[in-house]
Structure 1
């Protein structure tokens, strides 16, 4: 069974607005490596739609982008992508598949079928999956910014506190810190 790893950009005050992070070669290289280590991506519909609206054009070369962003886009194009949605059924982006039915059952089956693990990149979906005790690891890129607004990580709350074990912490040149935690079970 593969691990379900939740990874996201966030500011020091917990803001997960994708426009608040530092998007440079080093941060894109981090996420490219993380994606390379995973067998599949998992998103909620809103995140999927944000991603499909930009990254395929970068992968095709239709949108100007630095080399690190283009590398991410090309690899993302080839990666298996799974989407949880109750409102959308058609996902035409290359290698995209709907996750339907009972969330616990469907995501557990996905983990079982993906020995290299699944990389989760949606905040609201992460909260739902964490309430079901399905997230195994957390790899956050914490940016040296205080946004002063939301949305924030786990804004809707959890049923109980999650105890985590620090695996590693690595500062990047831009001042962001890669934090790797595993659930303490």
Structure 2
């Protein structure tokens, strides 16, 4: 059984808005490495739609991009992508699949059949999965800024506090810090 890992950029005040943060070569290389280590990506519909509107164009060369962004796009192109959605059923991006049925059962089944692990990169979906006690690890890239706006990490709340154990931390040259935690409880 693979682990379910929540991975996202987050500012010091908890903002997870995709427009906030440093998106440089070092950051993209970090997230490319995370993708390469995992066996699948899991998103909610909104995140999937945001990603599908841009990254396939970078992967195909239709949009010019620096090498680190292109490598990220090519890696993203090949990894299986699973999408949770109650309003959309057609996901044409390469290697995209609709995750259907009971959320707990469907995600647990995905974990069971993906020994390399599954990355979840949608904030709202991660909150729902954490409420179901399905998230095993957290890999946050802490951005060196205060956004002063939302959406924020876990703004929907959790039923109880999550105790975490630090696995590793890695400062980046841009001032961001990559933090890897596992559930301690």
Instruction: Using structure 2 for the length normalisation, give the TM-score.
Output: 0.99
Provide the residue aligned with 2:137 in structure 1.
137
Residues 1:99 and 2:105 aligned together: no
Per-residue deviation at 1:64? 1.5
In the alignment, is residue 12 of structure 1 matched against residue 12 of structure 2?
A: yes
Structure 2: runs of 5 or more not aligned: none
| Pairwise CA distance, 1:62 | 0.7
Write out aligned runs for 1:116-135 (5 A). 116-135=116-135
What is aligned with 2:152? 152
Residue ranges of structure 1 left out of the alignment (5+ in a row): none
For the pair 1:47 / 2:51, whether they are aligned, the reply is no
Shift of 1:109: 0.2
The alpha-carbon deviation at position 120 of structure 1 amounts to: 0.5
1:77 maps to 2:77: yes
State the 1:60 CA deviation: 0.6
- In structure 2, what is the equivalent of residue 162 of structure 1? 162
Q: Secondary structure at the match of 1:110?
A: helix
Q: Deviations over 1:105-137 (max 9, x none)?
A: 000000000000001100000000000000000
Find the aligned partners of 2:121 and 2:143 in 1 and give their Cα distance: 16
Q: Deviations over 1:68-113 (max 9, x none)?
A: 0000001111110000000000000000000111000000000000
Quick one: distance in 2 between partners of 1:115 and 1:2?
A: 4
Match of 1:113 in 2: 113
Q: 1:64 and 1:138 mapped to 2: Cα distance?
A: 32
The 5 A counterparts of 1:169-180 are 169-180=169-180
- Partners of 2:184 and 2:169 in 1: how far apart? 17
Give me the TM-score of the superposition, normalised by structure 1.
0.99
For residue 109 of structure 2, give the secondary structure of its aligned residue in structure 1. helix
